[in-house]
Amino acid sequence: MFVDSHCHLDRLDLAAYSGDLDAALDLARARDVSQFLAIAVTLEDVEELANIARRHDDVVISAGVHPLHSVDSEPDVDTIKACAERFDVVAIGETGLDYHYDAVSREVQFERFKRHLQAATELELPVIVHTRDAKEETLELIREHADPAIGGVLHCFTEDLDMARQAVAHGFFISLSGIVTFRNAQAIRELARMIPLDRLLIETDSPYLAPVPHRGKPNEPQWVVEVADCIARERGISLDEVAMQTTVNFYRLFRAAAPQASQEMRQVLVDANLV
């Protein structure tokens, strides 16, 4: 079974499904995708995501403000915490630093990320980190404000092995997306071979970054299987091994999601003393 550890269910292109999210999720379930973590881009998104989660037992959600999203008023730590608690989220984010673009100033991103990390630590929830071209600052804030006993994930990871190793040493996981399948992504495939399997997650980041052979189309949660398959081929192991280990990893990190795991997976988690 598989978990899509990062998807934007409120932003999927559902034109092919006549606007029916259930149809898109059913296709993923038919491919043994058993859990979806729906990610917030703004705090205003969280209520809609919570409504989706209420309709689907296999959907859990996060709360946070994307580093490149402009807001009228920057949320303080208490505001982030209140939103997370109100809607029963399993993680804080996505948050982080993206210095590749200048839609939001670096100073604003830095302070926003710090507040999210503080909220995550106080709530004892893992943090979902978006990082691009901001290696040193991202690691600095993680070291200073993230609790390694709680950890988090560097999602859709495209940075270097040194950054991955430093994050792992601080209790973080590394998540790979459809980018790993791209023709020009040899460096990411090398990461897929080098990062310890017990620290890897898989994701779609749908509707963005559809994997090969679906590039150019709006991404969908069902295609997390293509991500796992690429990792399996690169590591020379079975698809089943990648599926099982990344799923166990997901519940190790997002412990609040464990009650919504399938019955089969719950037994695995019980045997591993994770629930």
pLDDT digits (tens, 9 = 90+) for 20-65: 999 999 999 999 999 999 999 999 999 999 999 999 999 999 999 9
Task: Please list the alpha-helical segments (H only) found in the chain.
Answer: 21-30, 46-55, 77-86, 106-123, 135-145, 161-169, 186-194, 224-235, 239-253, 263-271
CA angle 160–162–166, rounded 5-degree value: 125
What is the total residue count of the chain? 275
| 127 Rama class: left (phi>0) / alpha (psi -120 to 50) / beta | beta
User: What is the mean pLDDT of the segment spanning 192-209?
Assistant: 98
Q: Which of 167, 212, 225, 164 is nearest to 190 (CA)?
A: 164
Q: What pLDDT was estimated at residue 275?
A: 65
The answer to whether the beta carbons of residues 50 and 15 sit under 8 Å apart is no
Using the predicted structure, report yes or no on whether residue 97 has a pLDDT greater than 90: yes
pLDDT band at 226 (very low <50, low <70, confident <90, very high): very high
What pLDDT does 262 receive? 76
In a domain, 195, yes or no: no
Whether pLDDT at 141 is above 80: yes
**Residues 6 or more apart in contact with residue 204 via CB below 8 angstroms:** 4, 6, 7, 177, 178, 210, 211, 219, 220, 221, 223, 224, 227
Of all residues in the chain, the percent with pLDDT exceeding 90 is 93
Predicted local confidence at residue 268, as pLDDT? 76
Q: CA-to-CA distance for 5 and 33, rounded, in angstroms?
A: 10
CA distances from 116 to 22, 98, 100, 127, 128 (A): 31, 15, 20, 8, 10
pLDDT of residue 96: 98
Q: Which domain holds residue 21?
A: 9-34+49-58
Q: Are 231 and 180 in contact (CB under 8 A)?
A: yes
Query: For 247-260, what is the mean pLDDT?
Result: 94
Does residue 158 sit within a domain? no
Rounded alpha-carbon distances, angstroms, from residue 223 to 8, 183, 189, 228, 240: 14, 17, 17, 9, 15
Using pLDDT thresholds of 50, 70 and 90, give the confidence band for residue 260: confident
Whole-number pLDDT of residue 264: 77
Q: Is residue 25 part of a domain?
A: yes
Structurally, the chain folds into a number of domains equal to 1
Phi/psi of residue 61, each to 5°?
-135, 165
Using pLDDT thresholds of 50, 70 and 90, give the confidence band for residue 202. Answer: very high
> pLDDT exceeding 70 applies to what percent of the chain?
99
- Residue at 225 is within a domain: no
Indicate whether 107 belongs to any domain. Answer: no
Mean pLDDT of 76-81: 98
Question: Is 127 within a domain?
Answer: no
| 22 occurs within a structural domain | yes
- State yes or no: pLDDT of 254 exceeds 70: yes
What value does the mean pLDDT of the chain take? Answer: 96
